[in-house]
Amino acid sequence: RVDCRLAVVGEVGLSGELRSVSQLERRMGEASKLGFERILVPATLGRGMARPPENIQVLRASSLGEAIEIALGSDRS
């Protein structure tokens, strides 16, 4: 079952890699306003990305497989 408190932002490439998207800071803010507690972003964004709202935990994944594991609760990073 997918964690309903998790928002996911990114683009999936043909080989399953997760890619970054524009306006990440804005997307995180909107997710926070909507009540999401966690947000999954592509690992390629690195640690120097936009600062997330204080009430959101940022999770990272480099592939669709990793993202699915996180969304299904196998990884509580």
Please state the domain extents for the chain. Answer: 6-71
pTM recorded for the entire structure:
0.81
**In the prediction, which pLDDT does 53 show?**
82
What would the CATH number be for the domain defined by 6-71? Answer: 3.30.230.10
CB-based burial, 4-42: b 16+ in 10 Å, e otherwise: eebbbbbeeeeeebbeeeeebeebbeebbeeebebbbbb
| Lookup: tokens for 38 | 């966690």
Residues paired with residue 6 on neighbouring β-strands, in sequence order: 38
Cα–chain center distance at 59: 6
**In the prediction, which pLDDT does 77 show?**
47
| pLDDT tens over the chain, length 77 residues | 888 899 999 999 999 999 988 888 889 999 999 999 999 999 987 666 667 788 899 999 999 999 999 999 854 54
